[in-house]
A and B are shown apart, each in its own frame.
Chain A
Amino acid sequence: MLLVPCPYCGPRNSSDLRHVGEAISRPDPNAASPEQWRSYLYLRDNVADWNVETWYCTRGCRKYFKVERNTATNEFRDPPMPGNKIGGKA
C-alpha cells in the first residue's frame, strides 16, 4: 500500500485517502468550446512519468491537495513532502 505524503497529516496509508485523479483546471464555463469542455470532462494524459495529481485526505485532515507522483515508480516529489519515497527507493 502506498504511503501518501499528506502535507497536513504526514505520510498516510493510501486507504486513508481518495485518489481524485490527474490535476485538471476548469475552463471558463461561459467561454469554453464543446471540445475544450469535454476534454476537461473526459480526457486525461495518463502519463507513465511525473504527473501532478489531486488527493483527498478522507480519513485524516479532509483536505484536498496536489502532489507530484511518478506513476511509473510511485515516487512522490517534494514539495509538499521533502524526501521522495519515505522508506528509500524500491
Chain B
Amino acid sequence: MTQSHRLNPQPGEVIDRSAPLNFTWNGKRLTGFQGDTIASALMANGVEVVSRSMKYHRPRGYMTADFWDPNGFVQVGDEPNVRSGHRQLTSGITVDPQNVWPSLDYDVKAANGLVGRFLSAGFYYKTFMKPAALWPAFEKVLATFAPGGSVDLDSTPGYYDKRYSHPDVLVAGGGPAGMAAAIAAAESGARVMLVEHEHQLGGHLRWGSTADQASARQLAESVAAAGVEVLTDSTVTGRYEDSWVAVSQRSHAHAVERLIKARAKVLIVAPGLIERPYVFAGNDKPGVMLSGAVRRSIAMYATRPGSRAVVFSGNADGDAAAIDLERVGVDVAAVIDARSGANIVEAHGGAKRVSSVELADGSSIDADLLVVAAGWTAPTSLLNMAGDRPVYDASCARFFPSATIDNVLSCGGIAGDGNFDEIVAHAQATGRLAAERAAAVQHRLQARTARSAPVEFAEPAWPADVRSPLGRDAHPELFQSSTVGMVDFSEDVSSKDLVLAAKEGYDSVELLKRFTTATMGPSQGKLETVNTVAVLADARGETIEEVGTTVWRPPYAPISLGGLAGRMFNPHRVSSIHPWHESNGQIPIQVAAWERPEHYGNPAGEVTNTRTNVGIIDVSPLGKLDLRGPDVPKLLNLLYTNKWSKLPIGGVRYGLMCAEDGVVLDDGVTGRLGEHHYLMTTTSSGAARVWEWAENWLQTEHPDWQVHITPVTTALSSINIAGPKSRELLSRLTSIDLSREAFPYMTLRTGIVAGIDDCIMWRIGFTGELSYEVHVPSGYGLHVWQALIDAGADLGVAPFGLEAQRIMRLEKGHFIVGQDTDGLTLAVSAGVASLIKLDKDDFVGKTELAWALADRMHELPQVVAIQTAAPTVVPTEATQIVRPGTNEILGRITSSRMSPTLGRSICMGQVPSSLAAGGTALELVLVPDGRRVAATVLDTHAHFDPEGARLRA
C-alpha cells in the first residue's frame, strides 16, 4: 500500500518527507515519515478501522487522532495499550490492533452488538452475582472478552527514571498562553519549567492559519531565549499538597519514562481546551471525526481524512475545518450550522465507515466523513486537585475556574476567551504575577532554611492579583441529539445506559460514574465528563449546574506503572567482612537491608564445630549505640527494666526494653567503657528504632539529662568467637589477659587485637559457649576476621552463620524479640522475672508490668521451652499447641529446630501461665496433615547446659 491519503506538502506539516519509515500494521508492511504519529501514518495509508470497542466490539476509527483518542489503542511489539494518536512512528515497529478476535475486519464478538441490551450498565454486577460459587467459571469466560493488549512477561523492563525539581514557576501547557506566561515569568527572573503534553509547543496554533503557525514559532523561540526548561511529550499528571507537582516525562533521552516530582512555588495551569464529542446515533462510526482531528490531520500530517464531508459546526473551528477541507480538495457536501438550530440525528454506514448523514429535517446527505464541532471541555483537573470547584456557564457551554488560589493561576482557554493578543496579554500578566509570588515564596523558604544563602531584604508583601479577566465567548449548548449515541467511547457507555442507570436510582453523578464506568476509561473523562453530566441532567430534568460534575483526581492523563515505580531503590547493607563471606561459600540471607551469611553450606556442622572447637560469626549488623555523659545510667534505668546504677567500669549487663504498654520492644547487652562512656547493643532489626526511641525520651521527657547518643553500628565490625577453644584462639591475637580470673563472664576489656588498636571485647554467651565478642573499627574488620581464621587453623576454627547461631541460641533457650515474643507479649511473659525491677522509681513500661504482675498473670501467656515426645519430629514454627485429646488451642510454637548437639528436636513456644510449669503435657497439631504429637514443657528455657557451665568456663 502506498501513502494513498497523503496530501501535497502543507506549510505547517511536522513530518520529514526525506525520512521515510517502514513499519507493519496488522501484518502488512506500510511506510510513513519521521514526525508521523502511528495514527497519522495509518491514516496516510488509508486505514479506516483501527480497533474494536471494549464491550460491543464495534469497529472504530480515529475520532480525535491525538493522545485522548478512545479508539486508537494498539499493540506495539511487546508493549500493549499504546496511544497511536500520540506515539510517534519509529522505524521497523510492529503495530497490531487490540481487542479483536479473530481479526480486525471480522470480529466474532461483534455479535455482542446484536444483544447489546444485555450488556447495559451494571451488566456484570447484575448478571454474575449469583450463584457466587460460579464466579470462577464466569471469570474465565469474561477474561477472554476483556479489552487490552497482551503483556509479554519475558520483556526486559526499561530504565524508568525519577527526578526532583524545584522550579519557581511550573507551567502546565505549551500553547500560546502557556508559552507567553512562561516567557513573562522567566523574564521577571523566575526559574521556569514548561511542560507540554504534545510533541511540539504551539497548542492549537499548530493547525491554524499560516499567521498562527508563525506566532507559534516566534513564541517557541522566545521561550528558548528566556532560558525556560521545556519538556515536551510530558504531562503534569497531578498537583498535591504544598504545590507538589508530578510530571510524567515521556521524551527523556535516557529513560523510557521519567517521573518528575516538582516542588513548584507557583503552578500556572494552561492546558487549553479539549474538543467535546457530540452524542447522536452512530457517533462512534469510523469517519466521524472532531473538527480539531480533521484540522490536525491536514495541517500537521498532510493526510486527507475523507473524500466527501458533512461538517456539523457550532463554532469557528468547525467553520475553519470546512475551509481546510475544501482547500485540500475534499468535497464539503454540507455545513450544518448548529448556531442556527440545524442538527444531525444519525451517521449511517456499513461495517467500516460512515456512508451518509441523516439530518433533523429528515433529509440525508451522502458522505464518508462527518466532522463534528460541538464545543469545548475545560480540563480543570489540576485546578480541582488544588481545591477549585469549577462552575458551569450555560452561555458558553463549559466550566470555568471559580476559586482564588494563592499559588495556582490559570490562563488561556481554561480561563476565558479572546483574540490572540488578548490571550497572550492575559498570560503575560499571569506569568509576571506568578514570578512575583514565587519570589515571595522563595524569600520565605530561604529565610527559614538554615543552610541557604542569607536574604538581604524584608519579605515582600504577597503580590495581589490585578489581572483583567478574559472575556467569554458565547457557545450553543450541544450535548446530545434526539437520538441515542455513545457518551463514553472507551468504556462503551451510551446515553441510553446512563438514562437507564439514573432511572434505577444511580442519579448522583458520582454514583452514576462508578456504576456505569462512564468517564473512568483511559481518556480520564476528558472527552466524556460533560456529556455524562448533561445526559444525567436531562434524565433528572435539571440543569448542568444543579447536577454538578465529578471531581477530577490525579492522574491528569494515565501514567505507566513503570513510570510510577521509577527506578527502585533497595538500599543494601553489608559488613566490612562481606568480601570474605562472598569468596568463602556463604549462602546469603537478606535480613532487613542487611545481607548476611545464613550459613556456609552445613549449618548443623557449624554448630557442632563451634560446640567442639571454635567458631566465629560476623555479627556486625548488631545495633550499637555509643552513649556518653554523666546521665547515661539514668537513661539506662529508664529504658531497661533492670537496674544500671551500679554497673562498674568494665562491666557488661543484659537488658530488656519495653514500650509504655509493657510489651517487649528490644533487648541487648550494654557495657561500661569509662566513667561516662557506655556501649549499648540492640537487636539488628531494632537498631534504628531503639536509637529514635532513646532520643525521644531524652529530647522530649528529659532534655535536662546530659547524654550524647551516637550510632556506631557500622563504625564497629563485630565478631563473636565462640567455643571451648575460643580463649586459646583469641589469646594468640592479643596480649590482654583472657584468663577466667582476669576476664570473667559478663565483663569487657579494651585493647589491641591482631594489631588493631581501640578494639572492645566482651565476654557474653548467646550461643551458650565460652565466647568473646570483639568490636573492631570497621576499616580493619576484614583484617581481624582473616587473622582469626589464619591463627586458628590448628584449633579447627570455622565460620558459622546466622542459622547455626539460631540453633545454638534455641538450644540455650534464649528468646528472640519479635520471633518468640510478639506485639502483645509483655515482659512478664518472657520468663525473665528477675530482670523486672518494680522497686525502681520509673522505667518505661513499669506501670503496666506492675498491674500485670498484681492481677493479670493468670490470663497472660508464658514463653517456655518445649520438647516433642518423638525426637525426630520438628514442628514448623506457628504450629498450634492444644490441650491433649481436645481441640482447645493453648498457644503456638514460636521457634523450632533439630538440635545437632542433642540429636533431637527442640522448640520454644507460648502457652498459658497455668500450663507453663515444667513437665506439663501438651499436644501439637502438625502442619500440614493435622497429625498430633505429644510434647512436654521443660523446667528451664535451656535445652542444653541449663547451668551455664560452658559459658562461664
Complex CA gap A74/B431 in Å reads 27
Is there contact, CB below 8 Å, between A2 and B241?
yes
Q: Give residues 1-39 of A contacting B (CB, 8 Å).
A: 1-3, 5, 8-11, 13, 18, 20, 26, 29-30, 32, 34, 37
Q: Given A41-B661, A86-B441, A89-B405, are A9 and B450 also a contact pair (CB < 8 Å)?
A: yes
Does residue A47 face the partner (Cβ distance < 8 Å to B)?
no
Complex CA gap A2/B450 in Å reads 19
Q: Which of B242, B462, B848 contacts A86 (CB 8 A)?
A: B242
Q: Given A29-B846, A87-B407, are A3 and B242 also a contact pair (CB < 8 Å)?
A: yes
Proximity string of chain B (371-390) to chain A, C-beta cutoff 8 Å, 1 when within and 0 when not: 00000000000000011000
Complex CA gap A67/B67 in Å reads 45
| Chain A residue contacts of B244, Cβ below 8 A | 1
Q: Given A10-B449, A41-B660, are A88 and B842 also a contact pair (CB < 8 Å)?
A: no
| Chain B residue contacts of A20, Cβ below 8 A | 696
A59 CB, nearest partner CB in chain B, Å? 12
Does residue B692 face the partner (Cβ distance < 8 Å to A)?
yes
B838 CB, nearest partner CB in chain A, Å? 10
Complex CA gap A10/B442 in Å reads 12
Is there contact, CB below 8 Å, between A32 and B450?
no
B702 CB, nearest partner CB in chain A, Å? 11
Task: Across the interface, name the chain A residue whose C-beta is closest to B405.
Answer: A90
- Measured as residues with beta carbon below 8 angstroms from the partner, the interface class of chain A is 35 or more
Q: Given A86-B441, A90-B408, are A63 and B699 also a contact pair (CB < 8 Å)?
A: yes
Is there contact, CB below 8 Å, between A1 and B448?
no
Does residue A52 face the partner (Cβ distance < 8 Å to B)?
no
Is there contact, CB below 8 Å, between B263 and A3?
yes
Does residue B445 face the partner (Cβ distance < 8 Å to A)?
yes
Complex CA gap A78/B696 in Å reads 23
A63 CB, nearest partner CB in chain B, Å? 7
Is there contact, CB below 8 Å, between B241 and A1?
yes
Task: Across the interface, name the chain B residue whose C-beta is closest to A42.
Answer: B661
| Chain A residue contacts of B846, Cβ below 8 A | 29
Complex CA gap A56/B244 in Å reads 21
| Chain B residue contacts of A37, Cβ below 8 A | 847-848
Does residue B888 face the partner (Cβ distance < 8 Å to A)?
no
Is there contact, CB below 8 Å, between A90 and B407?
yes
Is there contact, CB below 8 Å, between B696 and A11?
no
Q: Which of A11, A13, A41, A89 contacts B448 (CB 8 A)?
A: A11
Q: Give residues 587-601 of B contacting A (CB, 8 Å).
A: none
A54 CB, nearest partner CB in chain B, Å? 7
Q: Which of B240, B241, B406, B660 contacts A88 (CB 8 A)?
A: B406
| Chain B residue contacts of A89, Cβ below 8 A | 405-406
Proximity string of chain B (428-448) to chain A, C-beta cutoff 8 Å, 1 when within and 0 when not: 000000000100010011001
| Chain A residue contacts of B696, Cβ below 8 A | 20, 56, 64
Q: Given A37-B847, A54-B700, are A62 and B695 also a contact pair (CB < 8 Å)?
A: yes
- Measured as residues with beta carbon below 8 angstroms from the partner, the interface class of chain B is 35 or more
| Chain A residue contacts of B448, Cβ below 8 A | 5, 10-11, 81-83, 86
Q: Which of A1, A10, A62 contacts B445 (CB 8 A)?
A: A10
Task: Across the interface, name the chain B residue whose C-beta is closest to A63.
Answer: B699
Is there contact, CB below 8 Å, between B444 and A86?
yes
Complex CA gap A41/B263 in Å reads 37
Is there contact, CB below 8 Å, between A86 and B445?
yes
| Chain A residue contacts of B848, Cβ below 8 A | 37
| Chain B residue contacts of A32, Cβ below 8 A | 847
| Chain A residue contacts of B243, Cβ below 8 A | 87, 90
Task: Across the interface, name the chain B residue whose C-beta is closest to A81.
Answer: B448
Is there contact, CB below 8 Å, between A1 and B240?
yes
Does residue B851 face the partner (Cβ distance < 8 Å to A)?
yes
Counting chain A CB atoms within 10 Å of each CB, the highest count among B240, B692, B695, B847 belongs to: B847
Task: Across the interface, name the chain B residue whose C-beta is closest to A85.
Answer: B242
B678 CB, nearest partner CB in chain A, Å? 20
B566 CB, nearest partner CB in chain A, Å? 14
Is there contact, CB below 8 Å, between A64 and B699?
yes
B286 CB, nearest partner CB in chain A, Å? 44
Q: Which of A1, A8, A29, A34 contacts B242 (CB 8 A)?
A: A1
Q: Given A58-B692, A64-B696, are A88 and B441 also a contact pair (CB < 8 Å)?
A: yes
Does residue B584 face the partner (Cβ distance < 8 Å to A)?
no
Does residue B701 face the partner (Cβ distance < 8 Å to A)?
yes
Q: Given A10-B448, A26-B701, A30-B842, are A87 and B406 also a contact pair (CB < 8 Å)?
A: yes
Task: Across the interface, name the chain B residue whose C-beta is closest to A62.
Answer: B695
B664 CB, nearest partner CB in chain A, Å? 16
Does residue B265 face the partner (Cβ distance < 8 Å to A)?
yes
Complex CA gap A66/B660 in Å reads 20
Is there contact, CB below 8 Å, between B441 and A10?
no
| Chain A residue contacts of B699, Cβ below 8 A | 63-64
Counting chain B CB atoms within 10 Å of each CB, the highest count among A20, A64, A88 belongs to: A88
Proximity string of chain A (38-65) to chain B, C-beta cutoff 8 Å, 1 when within and 0 when not: 0011000000000000101010001110
Task: Across the interface, name the chain B residue whose C-beta is closest to A88.
Answer: B406
Complex CA gap A82/B444 in Å reads 9
| Chain A residue contacts of B452, Cβ below 8 A | 10
Q: Which of A3, A9, A29, A74 contacts B842 (CB 8 A)?
A: A29
Complex CA gap A6/B355 in Å reads 67
B593 CB, nearest partner CB in chain A, Å? 15
| Chain B residue contacts of A41, Cβ below 8 A | 660-661
* Residues in A lying within 8 Å of B, measured CB to CB: 1-3, 5, 8-11, 13, 18, 20, 26, 29-30, 32, 34, 37, 40-41, 54, 56, 58, 62-64, 74, 81-83, 85-90
A10-B449, A85-B406, A87-B242 provided; 4 other pairs, C-beta below 8 A?
Answer: A10-B445, A10-B452, A63-B699, A74-B242
A-B contacts, 10 listed (Cβ < 8 Å): A3-B241, A10-B449, A64-B699, A81-B448, A85-B242, A86-B441, A88-B462, A90-B386, A90-B405, A90-B407
* Residues in B lying within 8 Å of A, measured CB to CB: 240-244, 261, 263, 265-266, 386-387, 405-408, 437, 441, 444-445, 448-452, 462, 660-661, 692, 695-696, 699-701, 841-842, 846-848, 851
